[in-house]
Amino acid sequence: MSDLKFSEKGMQHYEWLLTRYPDKQAALLPTLRIAEEEFGNLGVPEMKYVADLMGISPARVFGVVTFYTHFRRAGTGTYHIQVCSTLSCALRGSQEVCDHVAKRLGIEVGETTEDGLFTLSKVECLGSCDTAPMFQLNDDYHENLTLQDVDGIIEECRQEAARGGAR
């Protein structure tokens, strides 16, 4: 099949996780996070790997991964821009931010740029309503955004990618 496997560090983390829960199934979400760290995106081979590693059915893993919105699904670009769009942010210009990102990147919401660098998503309330408008770029929140800030962030990502140091 595939030669996916966790690094030694990843496997150690996984073994440690198993000691924190009385039921192995409970380690699924954190193990999927290890898989994200190690493999980048959770595509079919990655989900299968986790299922086989944990001895649970691949369908169960699939049902879990597709239920949640914050896992990096297959096809997610290196830089995942998740624009918060719920009421408080919408009241303070989140639509403009989203439209601006879309225009700058040349993609629609839900799409990934052809070079695989950027994915643009609209997400629900990120718990940063007082610093609206904002987006989450991979792990990090970027708050109180102006359209200029957005341009700057996109440029930084491009430069980082060009230097070969992504994420």
| Residue ranges in contact with other proteins by CB under 8 A | 20-23, 25-30, 32-33, 44, 47-48, 51, 56-64, 66-71, 82, 85-88, 90-92, 95, 123-132, 136, 139-141
Quick check: 69 and 123 in contact, CB under 8 A?
A: yes
Q: Is 5 or 115 the residue whose CB approaches other proteins more closely?
A: 5
**Least distance in angstroms from the C-beta of 86 to other proteins:** 5
Contacts of 161-167 spanning 24+ positions with Cβ under 8 A: 161/78, 161/79, 161/117, 166/78, 166/79, 167/78, 167/79, 167/138
* Least gap, CB of 67 to other proteins (angstroms): 4
Nearer to other proteins, 4 or 90 (CB): 90
Residue 154's identity, in one-letter code, is I
Residue type, 125: C
d(CA 86, CA 52) in angstroms, rounded, equals 38
| Closer residue to other proteins (CB): 91 or 162 | 91
CB of 18 to other proteins, least distance (A): 12
Of 108 and 164, which has the nearer Cβ to other proteins? 108
Collect all residues with Cβ–Cβ distance below 8 Å to 159 and sequence separation of at least 6: none
Minimum CB distance to other proteins, residue 48 (Å): 7
